[in-house]
Amino acid sequence: MCTAATALAFFPHREEPLKVGRMSELLMVVAVTLKIAITATLLLCAPALALAYLLARREFFGKSLVETVVALPLVLPPTAVGFLLLRLFSVDGPLGSGALGFDFGLLLSWKGAVLASSVMALPLVVRSARVAFQGVNPRFEGISRSLGVGPLATFFRVSLPLAKRGVFASLILGFARALGEFGATVIVAGNIPGKTRTLALAIFSAEQAGNEQLAGRLMWVALLLGFAGVAGVEWLGRRSVLGGGV
């Protein structure tokens, strides 16, 4: 079994004055981070909202088990979740090439980072979206059904629009979690510059390598991204596209 931790690569140059190359490396880190976080959010969107809605509205056998499993990534150390994913998808794991006959190609790739951040962000999205769906009066859904609109169409025409503020906020929360994900990502996807080295990993690497200057610059980038993100959400929330809700 290969452990991705062996792929931990450190910055080769220390204490080097800033050059244009450094700038592009910084941009690369930001690009990798956004690509992974955005893909992870899009990936988890459908299953997380479906799960949130089911937990908010339906009673079914094994509901509390599902609730517990979904909440696990919140309470486990992220590295433990990462290790679990690594075992699942490794060559001899139940979802590895040995068992399935083909390879997802997740380990040590950006796809692995996407999976790790999705899994880590899922419980946050499910929990807050569930509260948003619970805030919708179920009688609206009953009226919709009685008007001849089936359950799936009722979800998209009534439940989702009425819960849109809370659902949007939950996805932002998930996106933020994916942006900063470290522990699970580093184990599943490693820390490969230009492929899986996100901001969180880059700051860690720079600090470990003693490159305080780079770590500082990366920290400022993270701060800026965070600020822009929160401000953007606030702005979107005030706009009528998302506003005008209930």
Binding site for other proteins (CB under 8 A): 137, 139-140, 142-151, 157-158, 161-162, 244-246
Nearer to other proteins (CB atom), residue 77 or residue 245: 245
The least CB distance from residue 238 to other proteins, in Å, is: 17
Question: Residue 88 carries which side chain, given as an amino acid letter?
Answer: L
The least CB distance from residue 140 to other proteins, in Å, is: 6
The least CB distance from residue 153 to other proteins, in Å, is: 9
The least CB distance from residue 242 to other proteins, in Å, is: 11
Chain CA centroid to CA 212, Å = 28
Nearer to other proteins (CB atom), residue 62 or residue 244: 244
Angle subtended by helix axes 199-208 and 212-238, to nearest 10? 160
Nearer to other proteins (CB atom), residue 109 or residue 144: 144
The least CB distance from residue 67 to other proteins, in Å, is: 23
Nearer to other proteins (CB atom), residue 6 or residue 58: 58
Task: To the nearest 10°, report the CA torsion of 136, 142, 148, 151.
Answer: 60
Nearer to other proteins (CB atom), residue 98 or residue 138: 138
The least CB distance from residue 133 to other proteins, in Å, is: 15
The least CB distance from residue 136 to other proteins, in Å, is: 10
Give the chain as a 3 state SS string: CCCHHHHCCCCCCCCCCCCHHHHHHHHHHHHHHHHHHHHHHHHHHHHHHHHHHHHHHCCCCCHHHHHHHHHHHHHCCHHHHHHHHHHHHCCCCCCCHHHHCCCCCCCCCHHHHHHHHHHHHHHHHHHHHHHHHHCCCHHHHHHHHHCCCCHHHHHHHHHHHHCHHHHHHHHHHHHHHHHHCCHHHHHHHCCCCCCCCCHHHHHHHHHHCCCHHHHHHHHHHHHHHHHHHHHHHHHHHHCCCCCCCC
Nearer to other proteins (CB atom), residue 119 or residue 129: 129
Nearer to other proteins (CB atom), residue 17 or residue 244: 244
End-to-end CA distance of the chain: 52
